[in-house]
Amino acid sequence: METHTFASNSEEAIKMGFQQEIDKRRTFGIVSHPDAGKTTLTEKLLLFGGAIQVAGAVKSNKIKKSATSDFMEIERQRGISVATSVMGFNYRDKQINILDTPGHKDFQEDTYRTLTAVDSTIVVIDVAKGVEPQTEKLVEVCRMRKTPMIVFVNKLDREGKDAFDLLDEIEQKINLTACPLSWPIGMGQRFKGVYNIYGKKLVLFNPHSKQESDAIEFTDLDDPELDKQIGESAAAELREELTMVKEVYPPFDKEAYLNGELNPVFFGSAINNFGVKELLDCFVEIAPRPLPRETEQRIINPDEDKFTGFVFKIHANMDPKHRDRIAFVRICSGEFKRNTNYLHVRNEKKMKFSNPTTFMASKKEIVESAFPGDIVGLYDSGNFKIGDGLTEGEILYFKGIPSFSPEMFRIVHNADPMKSKQLAKGLTQLMDEGVAQMFTKEFGGTRIIGTVGALQFDVIQYRLENEYGAKCTYEPMNIHKACWITYENEEQYKEFLQRRKRDIAVDKEGNKVFIAESAWQLRTMQENYPEVGFHFTSDF
Ligand code: G4P
């Protein structure tokens, strides 16, 4: 009897420990247009958490701008950047996991996929440049997934757009509902600091200090002390602006933020480590704990006992002597344990992993166990593809890891008839890794490769030759879009397929895709076949 009591107590203790582990995790990504300050902000966050000791540690892993046309150099640096795939640190009582997203536009698809593994994001915007194209795309992806987003307006130490104008731009261009939780006092030469609306504190800027100055508690803005601190005219301006902020913007509502309907905004200067602490302090209080994940079968709750996880990124080693790949798995529920048998659902195969690894800010460690919200890297010899699920036996297919309609297309030809098998294998594996997408025309079997950036074509050609011994050439192709097709009216669908049979292809899962030559042609099809659906992502 006693033993029984003891056992159930300890089970309870384990369960509580498990809950605490989940409750403390905050897994997020930082997105921005290149140069807005993502790397700098990441670094300052890591410094706060004590994960790195000196600035520059992350920066050196960044793909350099100068290398934009040299894909070998980019791949080499991407190899180094495996080390920063996940950057973890503790702050207050939270364990924070930052998932790195490549800034280079040709690797945007990698970024989209990484966003499927986060629970929230921070969007960095340059105060002078405002909303830039890549920010627009990335925010769109986050919105599709209803990801809670916080905005950090960076580089207030420089002249930029007026705060109200910038928030207007954010609302109009990227459709966010701004809710300023800090407010800048001047900018550029006149930048005096921020008023932290969330924490009701005044934080003064000292450009020459490496450390942020202490925040001064300021619950009553009419306090004449404000005039003493920042001068009469700045104080008057701040009071007036904050009154307007109150009138124009909705009050902060945590639920609305968590539902993706309200977006807190902070202002600061990452390079000066200014405004970053306010952001982080608020983040640990409001950002979501690991969120449930959807599968075709059911919704997975992180608190479930049994382990589940999915692959969101595969990183291949470019060195032909070490052909291994690393599959990055997001833990969705239960506890992941080293050397334990799990089901690779798509392959219907049991697998166990002796060296699951974390890649934490330049430290590489074998992990014994991991919890929901964590990412583990699994060494893989070609078993995984993006989106694959691992479970303790349940058949679950994860949803919401879409392919996006690529932007550039070329027909791929085999340049060495003796190596057609190698070519086919190489192409399949590279597509599984998510380097690009391949569509095979139903009529004639032409293979079309679609990518987000031009660089991928070089990467594919090089890797086919070096890793698979196959050679390919490309033929340019004028394509506007590849759209996935669904239908409500079968007859109309069949007629459409019959009429456009030269333009129909299948993706790697066998889904039908319409290859539209021009925007005009696509529009005509949409008009002529209103009960056929044309989709720009594979997830509908
Ligand atoms: P990214 O990852 O989003 O591409 O941006 P990153 O952090 O690399 O920052 C881009 C440039 O902006 C860097 O300058 C960086 O120092 C600068 N920067 C970041 N935050 C601030 C800020 O708050 N104020 C100002 N004035 N500049 C900022 P760089 O010249 O490209 O690189 P570096 O030589 O300084 O490293």
CATH number at residue 249: 3.40.50.300
Shortest-distance atom of ligand 1 to CA 42: 7
Output the CA angle 431-433-434, nearest 5 degrees.
65
Shortest-distance atom of ligand 1 to CA 36: 3
Assess contact for 76 and 318: CB atoms under 8 A: yes
- Six-digit token pair at 331? 């833990």
Q: How far is CA 322 from the centre of its chain?
A: 28
Distance of CA 132 from the midpoint of ligand 1 (Å) = 16
Output the CA angle 352-358-359, nearest 5 degrees.
140
CA-proximal residue: ligand 1, atom 19 (nearest)? 37
Considering the domain boundaries, does residue 484 fall inside one? yes
Element (H, E) at 10: helix 2-23
Statement to judge: residues 235 and 381 lie in one domain: no
Predicted pLDDT at 407:
84
Shortest-distance atom of ligand 1 to CA 124: 3
Q: Which amino acid is present at 186?
A: G
Statement to judge: residues 84 and 204 lie in one domain: yes
Residue with tokens 């659906």: 533
Q: How many residues make up the chain in this entry? A: 540
Predicted pLDDT at 73:
61
Assess contact for 403 and 437: CB atoms under 8 A: yes
Distance of CA 161 from the midpoint of ligand 1 (Å) = 18
**Distances, alpha carbon 502 to alpha carbons 398, 507, 514, 526, in Å:** 32, 15, 9, 17
Residue with tokens 């003891």: 6
* Pocket-testing residue among 30, 35, 41, 212, ligand 1, by greatest number of atoms within 8 A of Cβ: 35
Shortest-distance atom of ligand 1 to CA 158: 26
Q: Name the pTM for this structure.
A: 0.85
- Name the nearest CA neighbour of 410 among 475, 504, 502: 475
The domain tally of the chain equals 3
CA-proximal residue: ligand 1, atom 17 (nearest)? 37
Determine the Cα–Cα distance for residues 380 and 357; give it in Å rounded to an integer.
12
Among 263, 286, 309, residue at a domain's last position = 286
Considering the domain boundaries, does residue 4 fall inside one? no
Statement to judge: residues 42 and 142 lie in one domain: yes
Statement to judge: residues 362 and 480 lie in one domain: no
Statement to judge: residues 119 and 175 lie in one domain: yes
**Where does ligand 1 bind, in terms of residues with CB under 6 Å?**
32, 34-40, 59, 103, 154-155, 157-158, 269-272
Residue with tokens 């195969």: 349
Statement to judge: residues 83 and 36 lie in one domain: yes
Considering the domain boundaries, does residue 352 fall inside one? yes
| CB-based contacts of 310, cutoff 8 Å, min separation 6 | 293, 329, 330, 332, 387, 388, 389, 390, 398, 401
For 32-70, the DSSP string reads ESTTSSHHHHHHHHHHHTTS-SSTTTTGGGSPPGGGTT-
Statement to judge: residues 314 and 189 lie in one domain: no
| CATH classification of the domain holding 493 | 3.30.70.3280
Q: Count of CB atoms within 10 A of residue 442's CB? A: 16
CA-proximal residue: ligand 1, atom 35 (nearest)? 271
Distance of CA 82 from the midpoint of ligand 1 (Å) = 21
Task: Name residue 184's beta-bridge partners.
Answer: 194
Low-confidence ranges of the chain (pLDDT < 70): 1-9, 52-84, 103, 208-213, 317-323, 359-364, 539-540
Output the CA angle 369-373-376, nearest 5 degrees.
45
Predicted pLDDT at 50:
75
Element (H, E) at 154: strand 149-154
Statement to judge: residues 80 and 143 lie in one domain: yes
Predicted pLDDT at 79:
56
Assess contact for 205 and 191: CB atoms under 8 A: yes
Determine the Cα–Cα distance for residues 370 and 506; give it in Å rounded to an integer.
37
Residue with tokens 């508690």: 217
Assess contact for 249 and 178: CB atoms under 8 A: yes
CA-proximal residue: ligand 1, atom 22 (nearest)? 155
Considering the domain boundaries, does residue 224 fall inside one? yes
Distance of CA 36 from the midpoint of ligand 1 (Å) = 7
Among 267, 286, 305, residue at a domain's last position = 286
CA-proximal residue: ligand 1, atom 11 (nearest)? 35
CA-proximal residue: ligand 1, atom 29 (nearest)? 35
Statement to judge: residues 107 and 192 lie in one domain: yes
Distance of CA 34 from the midpoint of ligand 1 (Å) = 9
Determine the Cα–Cα distance for residues 12 and 30; give it in Å rounded to an integer.
36
Statement to judge: residues 45 and 123 lie in one domain: yes
CA-proximal residue: ligand 1, atom 32 (nearest)? 35
Please, which contacts does 243-250 make with residues 24 or more away whose CB atoms are closer than 8 Å? 244/164, 245/180, 245/183, 245/197, 248/164, 249/167, 249/178, 249/179, 249/180, 250/177, 250/179
Distance of CA 150 from the midpoint of ligand 1 (Å) = 20
- Six-digit token pair at 222? 């009419």
CA-proximal residue: ligand 1, atom 6 (nearest)? 37
Task: Name residue 363's beta-bridge partners.
Answer: 360
Shortest-distance atom of ligand 1 to CA 41: 7
Among 391, 421, 456, residue at a domain's last position = 391
* Pocket-testing residue among 158, 189, 271, 276, ligand 1, by greatest number of atoms within 8 A of Cβ: 271
Considering the domain boundaries, does residue 398 fall inside one? no
Assess contact for 473 and 415: CB atoms under 8 A: yes
- Name the nearest CA neighbour of 75 among 31, 110, 124, 118: 110
| CB-based contacts of 53, cutoff 8 Å, min separation 6 | 47
Considering the domain boundaries, does residue 198 fall inside one? yes
Determine the Cα–Cα distance for residues 249 and 78; give it in Å rounded to an integer.
41
Considering the domain boundaries, does residue 168 fall inside one? yes
Considering the domain boundaries, does residue 5 fall inside one? no
Statement to judge: residues 230 and 321 lie in one domain: no
For residue 413, give its domain range.
408-535
Determine the Cα–Cα distance for residues 239 and 514; give it in Å rounded to an integer.
57
- Six-digit token pair at 502? 């030269």
- Six-digit token pair at 354? 């002796």
Helices (H), 249-311: 254-258, 276-286
Statement to judge: residues 119 and 207 lie in one domain: yes
